[in-house]
């Protein structure tokens, strides 16, 4: 499906990011993975190489311009860029939104929003050379449902919905599609703060019509479709992968 296509996936050594890299790689893409921690990059690279996937990797903090540049240099070594998946996110704060320290608030928006904007902007010279240009942002159900403990994080993920709409309109004439996946509660290390004990887990699952958490592989399958030729007329959409959770703002 993705033979000879090149994909960058940020924050891709674990959880949803690694599942996306694996899925695209299994379907023939050459993937560039990254993480802030060298040991995680080394481990994930070995995993994918052992599975026969063509992969390059780099240590990358998406807030750092030099780190981001390394991603695109790796893509050029593979021959260009067709797919950008902006997955990196942080959430160092849990509590009421108006109690959040401004330095923490700024950090959340720096990684979750500003870096996604810059990655998309910096990817354009390569994506415009592709016949199959795709930008895919990974947002969250928190963009729609403002959890009482995740206020700043939810705000940042809501901003990605608007970024998707605006960028899609601008790039439509270039044949580059821009879409956004909003995962619900997914069984990853990132979500453990919401499911760390039986009572919390029960409360979170009660909001999901399907009654279970999703898997990283289910998110990856949706990304694969959006990146494929079957979705070439799909752009500007924010798509929930959330087990039936309400998608109304």
In terms of Cβ atoms closer than 10 Å to its own Cβ (0-12, 13-18, 19+), residue 229 is exposed
What pLDDT score was predicted for residue 198?
65
What pLDDT score was predicted for residue 145?
87
Q: Give bridge partners of residue 233 from the DSSP assignment.
A: none
Q: Locate 27 and state its tokens.
A: 């379907």
Can you tell me the distance from the alpha carbon of 39 to that of 9, in angstroms, rounded to the nearest whole number? 17
* Contact indicator for 64, 14 with CB cutoff of 8 Å: no
Name residues of the chain where pLDDT drops below 50.
none
- For every residue of 176-230, DSSP letters joined together read -EEEEEEE-SBSSGGGHHHHSSHHHHHHHHTT-TT-S-B-HHHHHHHHHHHHSGG
Q: What dotted CATH number matches 6-241?
A: 3.40.50.720
Can you tell me the distance from the alpha carbon of 43 to that of 56, in angstroms, rounded to the nearest whole number? 13
Edge-to-edge strands of the sheet including 6-9?
Answer: 55-59, 30-35, 6-9, 83-86, 134-138, 177-183, 238-241
* Contact indicator for 119, 32 with CB cutoff of 8 Å: no
What pLDDT score was predicted for residue 201?
72
Q: Taking the CA atoms of the chain, what radius of gyration do you get in angstroms?
A: 17
3-class SS at 9? strand
SS (H, E, C) 17-34: HHHHHHHHHHCCCEEEEE
In terms of Cβ atoms closer than 10 Å to its own Cβ (0-12, 13-18, 19+), residue 233 is exposed
What pLDDT score was predicted for residue 208?
86
Is 93 annotated in the active site?
A: no
Q: Give bridge partners of residue 32 from the DSSP assignment.
A: 8, 56
Catalytic residue among 93, 145, 153, 233: 153
Can you tell me the distance from the alpha carbon of 179 to that of 158, in angstroms, rounded to the nearest whole number? 14
Other beta carbons less than 10 A from residue 80's beta carbon:
16
Q: What is the pTM of this model?
A: 0.94
């Amino acid at each position: 499906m993705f033979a000879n296509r090149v994909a960058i996936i940020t924050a891709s050594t674990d959880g949803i990011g690694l599942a996306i890299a694996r899925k695209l790689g299994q379907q023939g893409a050459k993937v560039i993975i990254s993480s802030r921690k060298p040991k995680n990059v080394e481990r994930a690279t070995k995993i994918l190489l052992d599975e026969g996937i063509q992969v390059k990797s780099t240590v990358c903090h998406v807030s750092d311009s030099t780190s981001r540049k390394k991603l695109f240099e790796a893509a050029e070594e593979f021959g260009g860029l067709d797919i950008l998946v902006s997955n990196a996110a942080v959430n160092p704060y849990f509590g009421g939104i108006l109690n959040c320290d401004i330095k923490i608030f700024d950090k959340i928006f720096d990684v979750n929003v500003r870096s996604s904007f810059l990655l998309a902007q910096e990817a354009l010279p390569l994506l415009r050379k592709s016949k199959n240009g795709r930008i895919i942002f990974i947002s969250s159900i928190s963009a729609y449902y403002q959890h009482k403990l995740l206020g700043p994080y939810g705000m940042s993920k809501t901003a990605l919905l608007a970024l998707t709409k605006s960028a899609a309109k601008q790039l439509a004439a270039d044949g580059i599609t821009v879409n956004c996946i909003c995962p619900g509660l997914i069984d990853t290390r990132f979500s453990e703060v919401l499911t760390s004990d039986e009572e919390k887990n029960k409360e979170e699952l009660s909001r999901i019509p399907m009654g279970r958490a999703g898997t990283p592989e289910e998110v990856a399958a949706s990304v694969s479709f959006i990146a494929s030729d079957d979705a070439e007329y799909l752009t500007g959409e924010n798509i929930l992968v959330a087990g039936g959770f309400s998608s109304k703002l």
